[in-house]
Amino acid sequence: MATKRQLLEVSGISVEVVRKDIKNLHLGVYPPNGRVRVAVPLRISDDTVRLAILSRLGWIRRKQTEFIRQNRQSKREMITGESHYFRGRRYRLDVIEYDGPATVQLKNNRTLELLVRPATGRDDREEILNRWYRRMLQEEVPSLIAKWQQQIGVVVAEWRIKKMKTLWGSCNIDARRIWLNLELAKKPPSCLEYILVHEMLHLIERRHNKRFIELMGHYMPNWQLHRDELNRAPLAHADWKY
């Protein structure tokens, strides 16, 4: 049966309800504005969904308030003097115009140099920086996958990088393919490793259930600290419960 979507209004909160072939109800609050989404089994009634939302109303409002207060960067204009992040550290952007190929390089652990041809526009500058972020992740991820494949005992058939608005990572279990958010290049390395382990464990346990939490605790005892660090970081796109 196909997935069904609808909107419910509960105590002044608009809730996206997604009905699909699952066993349990899953409620989430998502940045940047505290959007509420609940995934429910196909046969659950609207009244049951409303009661479930009402029972978590305090939590929902707290999460929405957290998103409003969360430290977020304004849209970057890609000009000299701006702050940009790489592996959890803040760098001052220095845009240098020169007649040569575009490149990005770190200087003195404080400056992120963006070398571009004259008249390179804001969007093109951002794309150049994003390509650099992608390359940095592509260099970092293979060794982490090799490490955790050995420890966990699973095999990742393929991994890819893309920009995602609400997820730090995702896992196609059947294809054994992992997607990582490009924004992870800006986060501390521990956050990248946490997300990678999280997705790799879905190759063992599909759902965020008790077994999954136990697996996280076994392989990464301090995973909650890494999760919280990720959610506190500037430019956070997702709030991870597990």
From the candidate CATH numbers 3.40.50.150, 3.40.640.10, 3.30.2010.10, 2.40.50.320, the one assigned to the domain spanning 83-232: 3.30.2010.10
d(CA 152, CA 39): 29
CA distance 39 to 117: 48
Alpha-carbon span 169 to 144, nearest angstrom: 15
Q: Which of the four pLDDT bands, split at 50, 70 and 90, describes residue 240?
A: very low
- Side chain identity at 184, as an amino acid letter? L
Q: What ranges make up the beta strands (E) of 149-209?
A: 158-162, 169-172, 177-181
2-34 residue pLDDT tens? 678 888 889 889 899 999 888 888 898 886 678
Average of pLDDT values for 163-185? Answer: 92
The tens digit of pLDDT for each residue in 98-140 reads 999 999 999 988 999 999 999 999 999 999 999 999 999 999 9
DSSP letter string over 34-71?
Answer: TEEEEEEETT--HHHHHHHHHHTHHHHHHHHHHHHHS-
Q: What are phi and psi of 186, to 5 degrees?
A: -90, -15
For residues 15-45, one letter each, b for 16 or more C-beta atoms within 10 angstroms of the residue's C-beta and e for the rest, the string is bebebeeeeeeebbbbbeebbbebbbeeebe
Give the domain ranges of the chain.
4-69, 83-232
Split at pLDDT 50, 70, 90, the class of 232 is low
Neighbours of 215 (CB within 10 A): 20
- pLDDT tens sequence across 27-71: 988 866 788 999 999 888 999 999 999 999 999 998 888 776 655
- For the beta carbon of residue 4, count every other beta carbon within 10 angstroms: 11
Compute, in degrees rounded to 10, the torsion defined by CA atoms 75, 30, 203, 213: 120
What's the rounded Cα separation, in Å, for the pair 135 and 129?
10
Average pLDDT, the chain: 89
The answer to whether residues 40 and 25 touch, using CB atoms and an 8 Å cutoff, is yes
pLDDT attached to residue 24:
87
pLDDT of residue 235: 41
- The pLDDT of residue 236 is above 50: no
